[in-house]
C-alpha cells in the first residue's frame, strides 16, 4: 500500500488522492467541485461504508472525507473504527468526519473516534481548503510521530515526540507533550509522565495536559490529586468527555461512589452517544448491584456498536449476564418470565454478525439458554444444557474462545458448581481478566448478595461435611452434604461427596435404614449419570458406581 505522496510547498494538494464517502448525490457533486477548485483533482466518490471497505482494501488515499450518516447500516464513525482496526489508513493520511447534524451528542460522538478534524455542513470552499491544509501540514511536520503511531510502537512515539520538542518553534509542542505522556502511561511509566506534564504546565496551562496529569496521578494512586486536576480540566473544557471518565474512576478509587455516579451521569447527559461512557456506567452500576442501570447502559452500548468492530460476543455475554442478574433481583415474576424473550432478542440481534466469524456461536447460545433455565428455577435442565454446550472443550478448556469460557464460568457460578468454575476461570487469559467489564461480571457472580450468601453457606456446609467424614462421623457428614445440596442443588462435588458417605453408611445399618440410604444413593447416582461431567468428575463417579455395584441391596 502506497504512503502519502510528497507535494511542493507552493502546491500543497498536488497529486493528493481524495476518497469522499457520502450517500447524498447533491453533496457529492458539490464537494467534487469544491475539491477540484482548491487543486484536488484525484477524487474517488463512494456512497456506502461497504463500498469503502472494499475499495480501501485495494487502494489507499491521502485524504478521507467520511460523512457520519451513511443511511442504513454502518455509519462513518464505525467505518473509521474498522479502517483503523484493519490498518487500512496510511500513517500520513488525514481523515475528516463530515456531518449535517450539529447536535452536541453527534459532534462529541464523532470526535470520540479521533478524526484529524470534524466539519459541519454547510461549509465554504475556503474553510475546506484551510482545514485540509492545516491537517496535512501537521501530518507532514510530525511525520515521524505519526509513522511510529501507525506501527503501534510507544517507545518510538516517545522518541519521535522528544525529537520534535527540540525545535523551540514547534507549533505542535503541546500535542507532542500530551502524546508523549500518553505513551509513557501505556508503557506503565506514570511517574515520568507526571514529571513531564508538571514541567509543561509550569510554562503554559492546557486542559489536555491537565487531563493527562489527572490520569497519571490516578495511575500513581494519588486519587484525590487526580480528581482535582480532572475537575480543573472540565472547568476549562466542559465538553471534555474523557476527563469525566477518568474523574469517575478516581472518585471510585477514593471511595467517593456517589460522586462517581454523578460524574458519569453528567457526562452521559453531555455525550449520550459515547460508548466509552456507557461501558463505564455499566461497570460501576454492576459493582453497586444496580442491575437495572447496568443492563440499560449495556443495551445502549449494544445499539451504539451496531455494525461496529466492537460488537463482540463478550459484549453480548456481558449484557445477558446483567439481564439475568436484574431478573433474579427484581422479585417480580414478570421479569423472570420475560427473561427468555429478552435473551432470545439479544442473541438474534447479534447472530448474523457472530456466525460470520470463527467463534463457536452455537455453544455460546446454548450456555446463555442454560443460564435462562437456571434463572427460571429449572436447575436440572440448565445443568444438562450447560455441560452439553462445552463438552467438546472439557478435555482442553484452554481451547475455548474467551467469551465462551467466561460465559461458562458465569453459568457454573450461577448453577452452584463453584469448584469447577474455579478450574475454568484459571484458564482465562490475563488479557481477558484485565478487561474491566469481564472482571466485574465475574466479581458480580461471586459477590452478588443473593449468590454470595448461597455460595458462602454452601462452602461452609461442604467443608464441615468433609471434616466430619475425615473424622469418621458419617451421619453428621451426610447431614452437612444434604444441607449443602439444598443451598446448591446442582453442585456435582457435594453430590459426589454425599454418595461416598452413603456407600460407607450402607455397610453399617440394618435393613430398615439401609433401604432408605440405598435408594438415596441410587437416585443421586442416576441424577449425575444424566448430565455430562468433566473428566475429573466422571472418573470419580465411575469409581463410586463400582463401589455401589459391589453392595447388596438391603
Q: Kindly report, residue by residue over 434-479, the tens digit of the pLDDT.
A: 888 999 999 998 888 777 777 788 889 999 999 999 999 999 999 9
Return the CATH superfamily for domain 455-549. Tetratricopeptide repeat domain (1.25.40.10)
Which 3 state secondary structure label does DSSP give 137?
Answer: helix
Cell 442491575 locates to 291
pLDDT band at 512 (very low <50, low <70, confident <90, very high): low
CA dihedral 490, 319, 279, 81 (to 10 degrees): 130
DSSP structure class, residue 72: S
d(CA 213, CA 522): 66
State how far the Cα of 364 lies from the Cα of 366, in Å rounded to an integer.
5
The residue ranges of every structural domain in the chain are 17-141, 142-254, 274-447, 455-549
* Length in residues, the chain: 554
| Band of pLDDT at residue 225, cut at 50, 70 and 90 | very high
Query: For residue range 14-55, what is the model confidence (pLDDT) as tens digits?
Result: 899 999 999 999 999 999 999 999 999 999 999 999 999 999
Q: Contacts for 246-252 with beta carbons within 8 Å, 24 or more apart?
A: 246/211, 246/214, 246/215, 246/218, 247/214, 248/280, 248/284, 249/218, 249/280, 250/214, 250/217, 250/218, 250/223, 250/224, 250/226, 251/223, 251/227, 252/284
Average pLDDT, the chain: 89
Say if residue 369 is preceded by a cis peptide, omega within 30 of 0. Answer: no
Q: What is the pTM of this model?
A: 0.77
Mean pLDDT score, 170-198: 93
Q: Fold identical between 17-141 and 142-254?
A: no
CATH of domain 274-447: 1.25.40
- CATH topology for 17-141? Rossmann fold (3.40.50)
- The helix/strand/coil state of 95 is strand
Range 142-254 has CATH code 1.25.40.10 = yes
More confident residue, 246 or 274: 246
Three-state DSSP class for 531?
A: coil
Which DSSP letter does residue 397 get?
A: G
Q: Is the pLDDT of residue 323 over 70?
A: yes
Amino acid at each position: 500500500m502506497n504512503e502519502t505522496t510528497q507535494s511542493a510547498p507552493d502546491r500543497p494538494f498536488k497529486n493528493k488522492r481524495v476518497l469522499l464517502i457520502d450517500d447524498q448525490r447533491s453533496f457529492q457533486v458539490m464537494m467534487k467541485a469544491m475539491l477540484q477548485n482548491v487543486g484536488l483533482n484525484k477524487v474517488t466518490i463512494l456512497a456506502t461504508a461497504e463500498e469503502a471497505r472494499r475499495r480501501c482494501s485495494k487502494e489507499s488515499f491521502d485524504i478521507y472525507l467520511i460523512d457520519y450518516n451513511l443511511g442504513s447500516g454502518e455509519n462513518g464513525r464505525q467505518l473509521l473504527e474498522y479502517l483503523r482496526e484493519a490498518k487500512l489508513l496510511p500513517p500520513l493520511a488525514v481523515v475528516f468526519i463530515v456531518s449535517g447534524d450539529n447536535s452536541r451528542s453527534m459532534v462529541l460522538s464523532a470526535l470520540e473516534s479521533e478524526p484529524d478534524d470534524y466539519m459541519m455542513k454547510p461549509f465554504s470552499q475556503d474553510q475546506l481548503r484551510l482545514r485540509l491544509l492545516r491537517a496535512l501540514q501537521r501530518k507532514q511536520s510530525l511525520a515521524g510521530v505519526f509513522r511510529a503511531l501507525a506501527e503501534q510502537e510507544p517507545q518510538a512515539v516517545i522518541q519521535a515526540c522528544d525529537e520534535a520538542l527540540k525545535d523551540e518553534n514547534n507549533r505542535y509542542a503541546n500535542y507532542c507533550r500530551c502524546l508523549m505522556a500518553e505513551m509513557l502511561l501505556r508503557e506503565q511509566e506514570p511517574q515520568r509522565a507526571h514529571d513531564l506534564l508538571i514541567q509543561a504546565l509550569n510554562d503554559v496551562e492546557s486542559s489536555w495536559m491537565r487531563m493527562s496529569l489527572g490520569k497519571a496521578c490516578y495511575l500513581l494512586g494519588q486519587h484525590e490529586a487526580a480528581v482535582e486536576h480532572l475537575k480543573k480540566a472540565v472547568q476549562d473544557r466542559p465538553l471534555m468527555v474523557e476527563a469525566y471518565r477518568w474523574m469517575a474512576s478516581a472518585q471510585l478509587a477514593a471511595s467517593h461512589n456517589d460522586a462517581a455516579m454523578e460524574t458519569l451521569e453528567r457526562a452521559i447527559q453531555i455525550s449520550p452517544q459515547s460508548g466509552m461512557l456507557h461501558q463505564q456506567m455499566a461497570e460501576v452500576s454492576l459493582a453497586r448491584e444496580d442491575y437495572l442501570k447496568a443492563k440499560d447502559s449495556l443495551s445502549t452500548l449494544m445499539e451504539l456498536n451496531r455494525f461496529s468492530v466492537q460488537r463482540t460476543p463478550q459484549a453480548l455475554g456481558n449484557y445477558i449476564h446483567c439481564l439475568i442478574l436484574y431478573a433474579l433481583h427484581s422479585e417480580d415474576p414478570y421479569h423472570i418470565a420475560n427473561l427468555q424473550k429478552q435473551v432470545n432478542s439479544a442473541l438474534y440481534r447479534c447472530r448474523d454478525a457472530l456466525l460470520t466469524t470463527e467463534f463457536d456461536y452455537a455453544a455460546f447460545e446454548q450456555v446463555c439458554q442454560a443460564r435462562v433455565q437456571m434463572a427460571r428455577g429449572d436447575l436440572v435442565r440448565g445443568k444438562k444444557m450447560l455441560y452439553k454446550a462445552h463438552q467438546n472443550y472439557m478435555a482442553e478448556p484452554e481451547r475455548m474462545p474467551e467469551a465462551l469460557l467466561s460465559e461458562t464460568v458465569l453459568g457454573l457460578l450461577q448453577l452452584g458448581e463453584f469448584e469447577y468454575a474455579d478450574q475454568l476461570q484459571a484458564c482465562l487469559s490475563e488479557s481477558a481478566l484485565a478487561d474491566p467489564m469481564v472482571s466485574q461480571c465475574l466479581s458480580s457472580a461471586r459477590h452478588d448478595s443473593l449468590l454470595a450468601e448461597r455460595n458462602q453457606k454452601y462452602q461452609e456446609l461442604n467443608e464441615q461435611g468433609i471434616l466430619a467424614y475425615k473424622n469418621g462421623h458419617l451421619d453428621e457428614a451426610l447431614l452437612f452434604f444434604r444441607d449443602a445440596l439444598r443451598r446448591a442443588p446442582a453442585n456435582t462435588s457435594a453430590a459426589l461427596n454425599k454418595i461416598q458417605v452413603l456407600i460407607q453408611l450402607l455397610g453399617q445399618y440394618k435393613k430398615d435404614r439401609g433401604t432408605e440410604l440405598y435408594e438415596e444413593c441410587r437416585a443421586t447416582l442416576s441424577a449425575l449419570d444424566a448430565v455430562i461431567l468433566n473428566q475429573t468428575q466422571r472418573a470419580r463417579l465411575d469409581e463410586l458406581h463400582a463401589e455401589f455395584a459391589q453392595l447388596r441391596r438391603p
